[in-house]
Amino acid sequence: MSDLVLANATLVLPGETVMGSIRVQGGRIADIALGAGVPAGAIDCGGDMLCPGLIELHTDNLERHIQPRPGVDWPHASAIVAHDAELASVGITTVFDAMRVGSIPSGKSRYDPYARQLASELLDLRARAALRISHFLHLRAEVCSETLTEEMAAFGPEDRVGIVSLMDHTPGQRQFRDVSKLKAYVMGKNNMTEAEFIEHVATLQELRARHGDAHERVAVAEAGRYGAILASHDDTTADHVATSAAHGIRLAEFPTTREAAQACHDHGIAVMMGAPNLIRGGSHSGNVAARDLAEADLLDIVSSDYVPAALLMAAVMLGDLWGDMARGIATVTRAPADAVGLADRGRLEVGARADLIRVTRLEGAPVVRGTWVQGLRVG
């Protein structure tokens, strides 16, 4: 296979942007040259940005494809392939697919296990080279549940579990300190009556009291068995963060207050916020705004959360906000790679994986014009 050369591009390097070209050989970046020249046979990028492929640590997008409407279970192979293609089209070249473990298989609050079956189907498609981008698993360990222990026991080191996050959606704390926000969300989504919502809250609070501490210990131990990093979720207070630090957590997903974000930085824990929060100008749950944390230098990583196309858009917004596009792009490339120990990607450096995206801006909005994974065009 001949070398791939992308030339006359604005290269988003670690710490700076410069005009130059990149030569790819054997799926790796073989050379980086400065200047606007276009060698024979090269792709002329016309000044477009050339960035590392985006790295997504937390997305619910696969679940959206699996269940496109409430009660609709879409054929899984088709859903996984469509999800994979969508991510490639918006510049995401590495994804940690979020799957919930920990279920409540009885009562009005019922939801059933699904992660082991879905993970097996995804990993089978990956083994058969049916997917375009690099997939890892992110197990969202719901401590307020009945079945967390047995669900986590079904996974092992061979399953590419890269992240285990400690989730606690008990009403009245963390993401849903304001129970009225939870009430509007749950009653609207699940068509509950007020009496059913009151019963739902009581069920979750009882489960947390009965299983929560033991489930938290299980999740921490299982992450170690898999070789995965630990993440916290919705830290709200400095005490929450101190507990996270004691567990060895390296990544804080969506802290809900500035106090928690500051405490994370004090403990050396990377702070990740949702791109929709940044783009919409605030949290839909009434929690701290991502922009406020960015302006306070308390934001390290961005996740698309539930809108894949938001990832690049948010990174460019941060680049504009900080007056430093390399720093903005790093929140979706180098910083997430570092947080999960992926030393082979997330930056334009000789020897790194040639996961690349070409980006232009149309009326300020970033548009992906090409996606390459290990030097092969996939979008």
In this predicted structure, the answer to whether residue 123 has a pLDDT above a threshold of 60 is yes
Looking at residue 198, its pLDDT comes to 65
187-202 per-position pLDDT tens digit: 545 556 666 666 666 6
Which conformational region is residue 224 in: left (phi greater than 0), alpha (psi within -120 to 50 degrees), or beta? alpha
Q: Which CATH number fits domain 54-344: 3.20.20.140, 2.40.50.140, 1.10.3720.10, 3.20.20.70?
A: 3.20.20.140
Looking at residue 70, its pLDDT comes to 80
In this predicted structure, the answer to whether residue 182 has a pLDDT above a threshold of 70 is no
For the chain, state the CA radius of gyration.
21
Question: What is the arithmetic mean of pLDDT over 319-346?
Answer: 98
Fold classification of 1-53+345-379 is Urease, subunit C; domain 1 (2.30.40)
Sequence-distant (≥ 6) Cβ neighbours of residue 144 within 8 angstroms: 102, 167, 168, 169, 170, 204, 207, 208, 211, 212, 215
Nearest to 174 by CA among 142, 151, 200, 222: 142
Token code pair at residue 59:
């997305």
Looking at residue 163, its pLDDT comes to 98
Looking at residue 160, its pLDDT comes to 98
CA distance 2 to 19: 23
CA distance 315 to 321: 10
Looking at residue 63, its pLDDT comes to 92
Lowest mean pLDDT among 13-22, 103-112, 136-145, 160-169: 103-112
Q: What angle do CA 89, 11, 322 make, to 5 degrees?
A: 90
Sequence-distant (≥ 6) Cβ neighbours of residue 76 within 8 angstroms: 66, 117, 118, 121
355 forms bridges with which residues in the sheet?
none
Burial tier of 83 (Cβ tally within 10 Å: 0-12, 13-18, 19+): buried
Looking at residue 88, its pLDDT comes to 98
Looking at residue 39, its pLDDT comes to 93
CA distance 187 to 184: 6
Tell me the pLDDT band of 19, cut-offs 50, 70 and 90: very high
Looking at residue 71, its pLDDT comes to 82
Domain boundaries, the chain: 1-53+345-379, 54-344
32-65 per-position pLDDT tens digit: 999 999 999 999 999 999 999 999 999 999 999 9
pTM given for the model:
0.91
Nearest to 139 by CA among 74, 207, 57, 247: 57
| Residue 72 C-beta-side C-alpha neighbours within 13 Å | 9
Looking at residue 179, its pLDDT comes to 56
DSSP, res 176: G
174 forms bridges with which residues in the sheet?
none
Looking at residue 172, its pLDDT comes to 52
Strand 356-362 to 365-373 pairing: antiparallel
Question: What is the arithmetic mean of pLDDT over 96-107?
Answer: 85
Tell me the pLDDT band of 18, cut-offs 50, 70 and 90: very high
Looking at residue 228, its pLDDT comes to 98
In this predicted structure, the answer to whether residue 181 has a pLDDT above a threshold of 60 is no
In this predicted structure, the answer to whether residue 21 has a pLDDT above a threshold of 90 is yes
Looking at residue 103, its pLDDT comes to 85
Looking at residue 146, its pLDDT comes to 85
Looking at residue 140, its pLDDT comes to 97
Tell me the pLDDT band of 168, cut-offs 50, 70 and 90: confident
246-305 per-position pLDDT tens digit: 999 999 999 999 999 999 999 999 999 999 999 999 887 778 999 999 999 999 999 999
Please give the helix or strand (H or E) that residue 324 lies within, else none. none
